[in-house]
Structure 1
């Protein structure tokens, strides 16, 4: 096994010398070489697989590096764990072998099927097997990694022993939008029928607002989103990422989070009501219709970017270097798949999984100043409802396993790593006693 200490092999700051960087060849259709960061308990053999596996999935625009502050503490928890954080397909140093000669390996016109959430779930299952395991003791997903983890545990429930959703509530496997019956009563959805994505449902209503708006995921699906964010040189990309991370963090004044009104409504909101609800969100979620994400961030975070020492955001330099090399399109394709009809070969699988509940112990952790908890009205309630078995046979998520960390925003494993480790270790101890 080729292992390289991450701090010397990659030259990345703020990372323990105990963290190993390597690539793992996966037995998938395009022979994916998945880059991982990993750690073992202190003083143990780094080639062993005798320790239970913890798997950490990042979101967008992040990398395995986003977990650097909690990998080692988790490895040393209880009797010890093998902790692994991969760069997911389309991110960082993970790539199909066919793309070796082209660092910006993913283009807008490439096939979307490999980025469908169930295809990436198969990447994850292949990684577990390639690491020499048949099960995962604790599975943690942040941001887009949260619904990915949810799809994994529903599609392959025997492989995962517990799951933690972070920042983005997991609301289950939805039927493909192409199979949704259209509402004829002016409501966002028709009771008793499959539900469409709120983004697709309210796009026209958002565009009709004054000023006109669009949802950020709709923007991420446009052909120009990747080039917008990459425009300019690496220094410009660094400034954009500094501002983006700041605005979604716990220190930005705009993150005075609260449930949207329709989340507690006794009846389904109309499409116009839902659009007005979403318009409450900051512009990095519901954007001016004719403005791109980079210009929004640079405009709203201007004072911060001019006055805050750059040394305070070392991770932004790593993200800027990696994304300048690869581009954002791989990560953007996850959003495109979420808002597009599924590949024909996935439709039947989704129909079989739709409506299934999570039958393993589950927890939710987020920053108390993270709008991601509330950006989809009703998502928090639905997540609690689909989790089954966490309360020893009763439906619903155990209240003590729904945790909001005070002062933290969207990037909580980087903003509040000690608190995140405390909650994950507590949850692990609880799972071990079942």
Structure 2
């Protein structure tokens, strides 16, 4: 495994991890992390996929880790953090590495959306798509044709504050001005905040088996765990502390102390604001309006979905899983759910995920 960095041609000095033969003729796989994560999250996939004959690349994306060239202050250009520009970051990396195509682009969490946008905009380059944990339902609708589902979601999120137990959606919290300061300066300490956050969203922290929500309403969304639909008076660090206090948390079988140290050191150095700007861009009506240019576009390369059976994130948006398979992706291959895994599926059950990825890649060669 190697660490490298270079100018990606889109304003970044991009840092990435890679494994395998880097010659131009070797087929490439690109692995894209989500929040709050790093290229390091793919440590179990890099060598396994390289041993199968691929050049495997996992970058720290814009706003994260050791990739530089982005800013996280109040004057940051949010347009740089919109999905089409994040996809352009990855296209630039592909060109830097001397490739003309990517055999498979694989994304986890928010990285699943970046991977999907790569395949949607440039199917000539990104030849197949694997999405982990977070379904992709397609571009925003056309401004002249309001999308009832989008309006219904906005109404449901707004309605959370009026519930008997007032709540707020985590994406709006992440988009606000206080999230970075509260999480980076967590009262329990940054390392313990991250330990608790990763634990609660993993199979080890699951208290019940996730299930699809009955409808898209505030009362349905309120059934989600508090790390998705938070009490209105709490930040995420306090939400995590409260969740951990209500259960026993033993040593993790999937996140070692050394690995946790990598995360706490990197986010201690950079803070979370770079990643939080993704949420701010995604919840900005003005910025999302620009993506309506792609309304009606579909992902037309072979596509699959992989998730942990105990991941509530799969059901966070009611109907998203079906919409991904039915509407967003025209060459659907498979959906696979991994036993004894939560949200961090590629770290919790790496061998099962590696096998699922290789099975998918074999069908899309």
Report the TM-score range of the alignment, normalised by the length of the smaller protein: over 0.9
1:325-340 aligned at under 5 Å gives the runs: 325-340=269-284
Report the equivalent of 1:257: 210
Q: Which runs of 5+ in 1 are unaligned?
A: 1-18, 41-45, 100-104, 183-188, 263-268, 391-396
Confirm whether residue 275 of structure 1 aligns to residue 218 of structure 2.
Answer: yes
Q: Tell me the alpha carbon deviations over residues 183-209 of structure 1, each in whole angstroms, 9 at most, x when there is no partner.
A: xxxxxx63xxx83482x3323310000
Report the equivalent of 1:15: none
Contact 1:242 1:313 in 2 (8 A): no
Which deviates further from its counterpart, 200-209 or 359-368?
200-209
How many residue pairs get matched?
Answer: 364
SS of the residue corresponding to residue 230 of structure 2 reads strand
Higher RCO (Cα < 8 Å, 6 or more apart): 2
C-alpha displacement at 1:259, in angstroms?
0.6
Report the equivalent of 1:64: 39
Q: Cα distance 1:62–1:388, how it changes in 2: closer, same or farther (>3 A)?
A: closer
SS of the residue corresponding to residue 204 of structure 2 reads coil
Report the equivalent of 1:136: 102
C-alpha displacement at 1:65, in angstroms?
0.1
1:342-357 aligned at under 5 Å gives the runs: 342-343=286-287, 347=289, 350-357=291-298
Report the equivalent of 2:263: 319
Q: Tell me the alpha carbon deviations over residues 84-115 of structure 1, each in whole angstroms, 9 at most, x when there is no partner.
A: 0000000000011xx7xxxxx52244221111
SS of the residue corresponding to residue 307 of structure 2 reads strand
Confirm whether residue 420 of structure 1 aligns to residue 353 of structure 2.
Answer: yes
Match of 2:2 among 3, 6, 20: 20
C-alpha displacement at 1:244, in angstroms?
0.3
Match of 1:35 among 15, 18, 27: 15
C-alpha displacement at 1:219, in angstroms?
0.4
Match of 1:404 among 333, 337, 349: 337
Report the equivalent of 2:79: 113
Contact 1:260 1:277 in 2 (8 A): yes
C-alpha displacement at 1:253, in angstroms?
3.4
| In 2: Cα distance, 1:64 partner to 1:180 partner | 39
Report the equivalent of 1:287: 230
SS of the residue corresponding to residue 61 of structure 2 reads coil
Q: Cα distance 1:196–1:148, how it changes in 2: closer, same or farther (>3 A)?
A: farther
1:359-398 aligned at under 5 Å gives the runs: 359-390=300-331, 397-398=332-333
SS of the residue corresponding to residue 364 of structure 1 reads strand
Contact 1:254 1:282 in 2 (8 A): no
Report the equivalent of 1:92: 65
| In 2: Cα distance, 1:47 partner to 1:81 partner | 9
Contact 2:103 2:127 in 1 (8 A): yes
| In 1: Cα distance, 2:322 partner to 2:156 partner | 21
Contact 2:137 2:328 in 1 (8 A): no
Contact 1:108 1:329 in 2 (8 A): no
C-alpha displacement at 1:143, in angstroms?
0.2
C-alpha displacement at 1:351, in angstroms?
2.7
Report the equivalent of 1:238: 191
SS of the residue corresponding to residue 38 of structure 1 reads strand
Q: Which runs of 5+ in 2 are unaligned?
A: none
Contact 2:298 2:330 in 1 (8 A): no
Q: Tell me the alpha carbon deviations over residues 326-348 of structure 1, each in whole angstroms, 9 at most, x when there is no partner.
A: 010010010111110244xx845
SS of the residue corresponding to residue 50 of structure 1 reads coil
| In 1: Cα distance, 2:16 partner to 2:152 partner | 32
C-alpha displacement at 1:304, in angstroms?
5.9
| In 1: Cα distance, 2:48 partner to 2:214 partner | 39
Contact 1:197 1:339 in 2 (8 A): no
Contact 2:113 2:136 in 1 (8 A): yes
Q: Which entry has the higher C-alpha Rg, 1 or 2?
A: 1
| In 2: Cα distance, 1:35 partner to 1:162 partner | 23
| In 2: Cα distance, 1:218 partner to 1:211 partner | 18
C-alpha displacement at 1:386, in angstroms?
2.5
Instruction: State the Cα RMSD in Å.
Output: 2.2
| In 1: Cα distance, 2:212 partner to 2:249 partner | 32
| In 2: Cα distance, 1:23 partner to 1:174 partner | 33
C-alpha displacement at 1:57, in angstroms?
0.3
